[in-house]
Structure 1
Amino acid sequence: MSPLLVIPARHASTRYPGKPLALLKGATGESKSLLRRTWEAARQVRGIARTVIATDDERIRAHALSFGAEVVMTSDRHLNGTERCAEALDLLGGDHDIVVNLQGDAPLTPPWFVEALVDALRARPDMAVATPVLRTTGAQLAALLDDRRQGRVGGTTAVFGAGHRALYFSKEVIPFTGRDFGAHEATPVFHHVGVYAYRPDALRGYGAWPPGPLETLEGLEQLRFLEQGQPLLCVEVEARGREFWELNNPSDISRIEAMMATMGLA
Structure 2
Amino acid sequence: MVNIRELDPSASPLDYYGSELRRLREEARLKQGALGGIIFCTGSLIGQIETARKVPTRDFSERVDAALGTGGVFSRLVGLVLRSQLPTWFQAYAEMEAKAAYISSYQAQLVYGLLQTKAYARAVLGVRTDGDLDAKVAARMERQRILDRENPPLMWVVMSEAVLHQEIGGREVMRNQLAHLLDLQGREWVKVQILPFEAGAHAGLPGSFNLLRFDDDPDLVYTEDFVQGHMTANPQALREGSLRYDHLQAAALSVKDSAERIARVMEERYGHHPVPDGRAMA
TM-score (norm 1): 0.28
- Would you tell me which structure has more strand in proportion to its own residues? 1
The structure with the largest alpha-carbon Rg is: 2
TM-score (norm 2): 0.27
Higher relative contact order (CA 8 A, sep 6+): 1
